Structure 1
Amino acid sequence: MDHNEPGGLSAPQLAAMRRSLTNGRGALSRRSVLRASGIGALTVGGLGTLSACGIPPAKREGGATASDDRSAKEKVVNFSNWTEYMDVDEDGKTRPTLTAFTQRTGIRVKYTEDINDNVEFFGKIQPQLAAGQDTGRDLINVTDWLAARMIRLGWVQRLDTSLLPHAFANLSPQFRSPDWDPGRAHSYPWTGISTVIAYNTKATGGKKVDSVTQLLDDPSLKGRVGFLTEMRDTVGMTLLDLGKSPEKFTDADFDEAIGRLQKGVDKKQIRRFTGNDYTSDLDKGDLAACLAWAGDVIQLQTDNPDIQYAIPAPGYITSSDNLLIPAGAGHQRNATRLIDYYYEPPVAARLAAYINFVCPVDGVKAELAKIDPELAGNTLIVPDRAMAAKSHAFRSLTTEEETSYEEKFAKLIGA
């Protein structure tokens, strides 16, 4: 690979990529595609789906026993990912970073975009995992709450750190030690997902909106405020506004946040709770301000200069999508090498330039600047220290808490 160009790309490839950021598939937000599916992965219905799958209580600490690894004999890795979550060339078919990985290592990547919803995908692989069988996938990418559940169940391989020199060295401190996988023994983040406040200055009359209190109490915004149908994002941001810690909150704290939001519903301050469809309403001004995902904000700003965002003084919620090697995977070494590859800054920059979500790789900024200086300076993609210091993760939940909290949240949003 030629390290003089980001991700080993030629000058024509770089030019094509820059065009794709505003005109091609790169102009789509993967998180938006995900949110389009409904009110979030763990509604009451989603919990019912998990129960119906026969999943035992997630109380056992995981550490799957190593299966026979065929990596030396079979130069392949089977990778399941979300749609619109990998860099694609102008032809819409070639995936430059995956192609470069194969050219360097001789390992062919069978890449499948078969994850559309966490619960739905888990339903596909749960029977094999429960039976101790190979799922046919060597690498998967799931959201942090599901990653935590799978690790607790013992259905994830422990990673071989000797094969992760770049990942170990370059993982951003912001993502190093989640409470559900201390020290990243089983997982590495693909992207971070930041929840911020977005507002349309034309709709607010030029007013800045920078707090949940303002969203819930400012009379000039009445009936034009949106919150998210993702419980962890909406409740987490409200907890922060109440001076509570999303990392350490109690049942009473959760109920206080729900009560605060209920008042916003009762007095019709909140227009509605949304999935990614807030983007069109915000763009048009039907929503003056709302909770939003940073990747969507970046995309909206490309075409609408009235769209602005704010980080509330108490901070913001960060979640992540994470690479895991399922228990029983047949090509563990190959999968681990692929994880490490995406922690090389030139490769990480290529990916970040395409998907526009928080890059978890330290040292990526200089490489991203070679592709697009504006993106490199965007703290929604490459958080600076001040931005990273304001991030908070919604703590892991027990099975009982998960059921109780989602029921209360579903009642709030009318699901």
Structure 2
Amino acid sequence: MARRFSSTRRSLLAGLGAAAAGISFGAMEGCADTYPIGKNGEEQRLNLYNWDTYTPKTTLSDFKRATGIDVHMSLFATNDELFSKLRAGNPGFDVIVPSDQFVTRLKISDMLMPLDLDKIPNHKNLLPQFQNPAFDPGRRWSMPYTWLVLGVGYRKSKMTGGVPDSWKWLMDSDQYKGRIGLFSEADDLMGLGAKYLGHSIHNISPEVLDQIARMYIKQKPNIKIFHNDEGQDLLLSGEIDIVMEYNGDIAQVMQEDPDLDFVVPKEGSILNSDCLCIPKGAPRPDNAHQFINFILDAKNGAAIYNTIKYPTPNAAALALMPASYRENKAIYPPPEVMAHCEYTEFEGLQRSRLFDETLTRIFAA
């Protein structure tokens, strides 16, 4: 599915600035800067195309210190933007960070370079469930960076009905009229609507899709905003009291306000994994493999996840994490709830267009 995640779900480090984050935003290729040639015969440079502020402030500088390779990071806001940038040919990126269903889309479009696992020995650090995913058997094309689950962020003091452990309170109730935030993304809304109505997020029938559309249209008067993935900020500022958001985003703001919490509804939810890939035509593939291996190192991974508060797919990194991270139910919801969650899959452009048309119908009603 053609998901279009906003950069704001990775907004923890917003405001630090490029210098504070150890990030340089030079031109992609052909800039005035020159770089020495490393022992591998490649220029000591790497171009990273990443979600905004999805990397702790010392990660890139630590990589340079360890390898001598200078990282130039460019930012994208959506998977569609990433795909469009690469459609006409790789402009010079060495590593990209697409979501799992876009790994499939990029692969079938012949826009990825296969990975050399011998150059990524730290792939052994992955948790078993991330070693052979359905969207990338054998990890030939991608390595996981994070995984995510959608749920309900809420202000505890405003929940008159107790813990909002059902999608009902967002989709099918006036209990919190005018204080509700939903995503504005078609794939999320359709998939989660299907979960609430007792169906899989996959192969949603036209009849169920129509039922979902009518449910959201009926609910519109109770909704404050269809947000672009800044739900955690709206919740923290008090503009809304209950919101559809990602676990890592809510875990971040929970550190600032103890009145905030997160729950995955009992009906289940959508899972996603953002991945590290090497795009076809990468000018420095060996540097790219070094960078991916660096990220999968236990100590480096622990520093990343302890900062961004998203769940890690890295068993070795997880072993180094404090109990405050490992036992945080916002980061790691209970297994009995997670059992009802499903990973997204790319189901083709026709399905994406159908979802977009349904969302247009909802917004126009």
Instruction: Bin the TM-score by the shorter chain.
Output: 0.7 to 0.9
CA 382–204 in structure 1, closer or farther in 2 if over 3 Å, else same: closer
Out of 175, 195, 208, the residue aligned to residue 253 of structure 1 is 208
TM-score, length of structure 2 as denominator length:
0.81
Residue 347 (1) aligns with residue 325 (2): no
Shift of 1:246: 1.5
Out of 87, 112, 118, the residue aligned to residue 56 of structure 2 is 87
Residue 117 (1) aligns with residue 78 (2): yes
| Corresponding residue SS for 1:151 | helix
CA 384–359 in structure 1, closer or farther in 2 if over 3 Å, else same: farther
Contact preservation (8 Å) 2:248, 2:309: yes
Which residue in the other structure is 1:98 paired with?
A: 60
Which residue in the other structure is 2:328 paired with?
A: 378
CA 30–404 in structure 1, closer or farther in 2 if over 3 Å, else same: closer
Map 1:198-213; keep pairs closer than 5 Å: 198-205=153-160, 207-213=162-168
Contact preservation (8 Å) 1:227, 1:291: yes
Which residue in the other structure is 2:97 paired with?
A: 141
- Write the distance in 2 (CA, Å) between the matches of 1:402 and 1:226: 23
Which residue in the other structure is 1:31 paired with?
A: 9
Shift of 1:297: 0.9
- Write the distance in 2 (CA, Å) between the matches of 1:385 and 1:345: 24
Which residue in the other structure is 1:394 paired with?
A: 344
Contact preservation (8 Å) 1:236, 1:246: yes
CA shift digits 1:70-105 (9 cap, x unpaired) = 9821244332222212121xxxxxx2x33443444x
CA shift digits 1:138-170 (9 cap, x unpaired) = 111123343322111011011112223322x23
Map 1:304-383; keep pairs closer than 5 Å: 304-369=257-322, 373-381=323-331
Shift of 1:201: 2.1
- Write the distance in 2 (CA, Å) between the matches of 1:206 and 1:117: 35
CA 257–118 in structure 1, closer or farther in 2 if over 3 Å, else same: same
Shift of 1:388: 4.8
Shift of 1:397: 1.8
What is the letter of the counterpart of residue 223 of structure 1? G
Shift of 1:348: 0.8
Shift of 1:412: 1.4
What is the letter of the counterpart of residue 203 of structure 1? K
| Corresponding residue SS for 2:89 | helix
- Write the distance in 2 (CA, Å) between the matches of 1:345 and 1:32: 21
CA 154–367 in structure 1, closer or farther in 2 if over 3 Å, else same: same
Contact preservation (8 Å) 1:201, 1:306: yes
CA 30–374 in structure 1, closer or farther in 2 if over 3 Å, else same: farther
CA 223–177 in structure 1, closer or farther in 2 if over 3 Å, else same: farther
Structure 2 residues not aligned, in runs of 5+ = 1-6, 15-37
Shift of 1:183: 3.3
Q: How high is the sequence identity, in percent, across the aligned residues?
A: 26
RMSD: 2.9
Residue 183 (1) aligns with residue 138 (2): yes
CA 263–33 in structure 1, closer or farther in 2 if over 3 Å, else same: same
Structure 1 residues not aligned, in runs of 5+ = 1-28, 37-69, 89-94, 130-134
- Write the distance in 2 (CA, Å) between the matches of 1:264 and 1:380: 26
- Write the distance in 1 (CA, Å) between the matches of 2:355 and 2:108: 20
Q: Which has the higher helix share?
A: 1
What is the letter of the counterpart of residue 283 of structure 2? G
CA 171–180 in structure 1, closer or farther in 2 if over 3 Å, else same: same
What is the letter of the counterpart of residue 276 of structure 2? L
CA shift digits 1:105-130 (9 cap, x unpaired) = x350423133233333433332224x
Which residue in the other structure is 2:199 paired with?
A: 244
What is the letter of the counterpart of residue 395 of structure 1? E
| Corresponding residue SS for 1:111 | strand
Shift of 1:227: 1.3
Out of 151, 161, 183, the residue aligned to residue 196 of structure 1 is 151
Contact preservation (8 Å) 1:194, 1:358: no
What is the letter of the counterpart of residue 260 of structure 1? M
Contact preservation (8 Å) 2:56, 2:304: yes
Contact preservation (8 Å) 1:31, 1:296: yes
- Write the distance in 1 (CA, Å) between the matches of 2:126 and 2:205: 30
Contact preservation (8 Å) 1:179, 1:396: no
Q: Work out the number of aligned pairs and report it.
A: 334
Out of 73, 76, 89, the residue aligned to residue 41 of structure 2 is 73
CA shift digits 1:58-81 (9 cap, x unpaired) = xxxxxxxxxxxx982124433222
Contact preservation (8 Å) 1:32, 1:296: yes
What is the letter of the counterpart of residue 157 of structure 1? M
- Write the distance in 1 (CA, Å) between the matches of 2:70 and 2:331: 26
Which residue in the other structure is 1:154 paired with?
A: 110
Which residue in the other structure is 2:227 paired with?
A: 274
Which residue in the other structure is 1:410 paired with?
A: 360
